[in-house]
Homo-oligomer: A and B are copies of this chain.
Amino acid sequence: MMTRLTQLQDQYIQLAYGNGGRFMRELIDNLFAYHLHNPLLDTHADAAVIPSNNNQEIMVTTDGFTVKPLEFPGGNIGSLAVHGTVNDLCVSGALPKYLTLNAFIEEGLEIAQLDRIILSLATAARDSNVVVVAGDTKVLARGEGGGLYLATTGIGERKRKLGMEQIAPNDVVLISGSIGDHGTAVMLAREQFGMRGDLHSDSASVLPLAQALWQIPGLKFMRDPTRGGLASVLHEICQVTGLSVRLFEPQIPIRDSVRSVCEMLGYDPYYLACEGRIVAVVAAETADLALATLQAFPSVPPAAKIGLLLEGEPHLILETELGGERFLEQLEDEPLPRIC
């Protein structure tokens, strides 16, 4: 499986690539298995055996990916499908080890594009030290898909117990870097907006950051603020804990370019997806240590302490630069589907 025996003869995906016969076998062997080969992946088996590691608790997560366009500055749906699931494990306190992959491919997708995407996926997996152990492909008739949808399920080993139930008043909220980069980069990559910018998605594995944070006493909870952004993560914390979250606007890292795009298009950066950031809730005593740990990983603008947990009504309140207060409400409409 290390060498590509033949190039696929077509330029575009045909329905026959999904039929269980010769073309499907060629697609799997010459594209998916070619990029994703590893000792555990056997394309002739219905299930993969995972080496057992007895003293480890296992954690599982799953995520679907529908981003449009399929390729955008800073990544594509393939790298995103690894980062999204790897990051869900990392923020849950688990070391990512294995992935499974589902691909829903629309008839007519250019095979060269699919090849680039699966190569990115393989590279991102290798960089995060995870292997794809099982997969499935389906081909959808033209008009019944969005080019390509992916789903990845991740399996990891638990290294740290974290959870919203540990959150208490006076805990500190930290963010590992700027917010809104992914959302605005994908927005601008859509031709419909007729805008161009130098924005890049922050799509990345947070594994190194998470591994460093796992060592911090007083770390209570982490989440990667993807769909619905920072505000939606903090809203969920309010609802589950019954506490209030107070955010300090001047401390929230947002790139100027992201702020400009949001102002022009009428988006609120607090609700835009990030794909390589961590929101962490840490006890007040170790918040400075956690911040220093995060800032050891260079980021422009850098990681910051951005908020506090407080007794009170479960509201998310933004304290503005001028000392005013703004309630950040729960997201109701959907301004931007297929962002991740």
- Please give the residue numbers on chain A whose beta carbons come within 8 Å of chain B beta carbons, in ascending order: 14-25, 44-50, 52, 54, 56-66, 88-89, 91-92, 94, 98, 100-104, 133-141, 143-146, 149, 151, 153-156, 158, 163-164, 223-224, 226-229, 232, 235-236, 240, 330-334, 337-338
**A44 and B149 form a contact (CB under 8 A):** no
Q: A20-B229, A334-B18 are in contact. Are A49 and B45 (CB under 8 A)?
A: no
For A60, give its contact among B19, B44, B134, B145 (CB under 8 Å).
Answer: B134
CB pair B48 A59 closer than 8 Å? yes
A139 CA to B44 CA, complexed, in Å: 32
- CB-defined contacts of A47 to chain B, threshold 8 Å: 59-61, 88-89, 92, 94, 154, 156
Please give the count of copies of this chain that the complex contains: 2
Tell me the complex Cα distance, A229–B158, Å: 40
Residue contact B64 to A104, C-beta cutoff 8 Å: yes
State the CA gap A226–B98 with chains docked (Å).
Answer: 25
CB distance from A146 to the nearest CB of B (A): 4
Residues of B within 8 A of A22 (CB): 330-332
The 8 tightest CB contacts between A and B, nearest first, are: A20-B228, A21-B331, A20-B227, A47-B92, A47-B61, A153-B153, A62-B100, A19-B334
Structural contact, B64 and A102, CB atoms closer than 8 A: yes
The reply to whether A64 and B136 form a contact with Cβ atoms under 8 Å apart is yes
Residues of B within 8 A of A91 (CB): 46
**With the chains together, A139 CA to B156 CA distance in Å?**
27
- Which residue of the partner chain B has the closest CB to A161? B49
- Within the complex, the shortest CB–CB distance from A51 to chain B, in Å, comes to 8
Cβ contact within 8 Å between A140 and B49: no
20 other contacts beyond A16-B333, A21-B232, A45-B92, with CB at 8 A cut-off?
Answer: A16-B332, A16-B334, A20-B228, A21-B228, A22-B331, A47-B92, A48-B59, A48-B61, A52-B54, A52-B56, A60-B155, A62-B101, A63-B102, A64-B103, A66-B104, A66-B140, A102-B151, A102-B153, A139-B334, A140-B338
